[in-house]
């Protein structure tokens, strides 16, 4: 149960409620926590690899979007200045 996403407090409380043997509980808890830690570490490793793979593409796209936002901002400012200077006509 320690490997599952069930909160550890619920598992510990249940084991205490049914009077599970303490030494057996500690051994099983340590083993389950080690397995869970390994699996979460492995998941993080693969997520980090996938992030690095797509980070370059995202950074390139971000650069183009930043340039586009700058051009649009300048165009909107020019439009407002012209509108104010020449009126609505």
Q: Output the pLDDT for position 38.
A: 92
| Mean pLDDT for all residues in the chain | 86
The structure's pTM equals 0.50
- Is the pLDDT at 89 greater than 60, yes or no? no
Report how far residue 60's alpha carbon sits from residue 77's, in angstroms, rounded to the nearest whole number.
26
Q: How far apart are CA 68 and CA 29, in angstroms?
A: 54
User: Tell me: the pLDDT tens digits for 33-69?
Assistant: 899 889 989 988 888 877 877 888 888 889 899 999 9
Residue 88: per-residue pLDDT: 60
Q: Is pLDDT of 75 > 90?
A: yes
Percent of the chain at pLDDT exceeding 90: 25
Write the DSSP string, the chain.
--SSSS-HHHHHHHHHHTT--HHHHHHHHHHHHHHHHHHHHHHHHHHHHHHHHHHHHHHHHHHHHHHHHHHHHHHHHHHHHHHHHH---
């Amino acid at each position: 149960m320690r490997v599952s996403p069930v909160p550890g407090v619920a598992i510990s409380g249940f084991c205490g409620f049914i009077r599970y043997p303490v030494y057996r509980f500690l051994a099983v808890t340590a083993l389950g926590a080690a397995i869970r830690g390994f699996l979460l570490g492995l998941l993080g490793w693969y997520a980090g690899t996938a992030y690095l793979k797509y980070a370059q593409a995202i950074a390139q796209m971000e650069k183009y979007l930043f340039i586009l936002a700058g051009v649009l901002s300048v165009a909107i400012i020019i439009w407002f200045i012209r509108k104010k200077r020449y009126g609505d006509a």
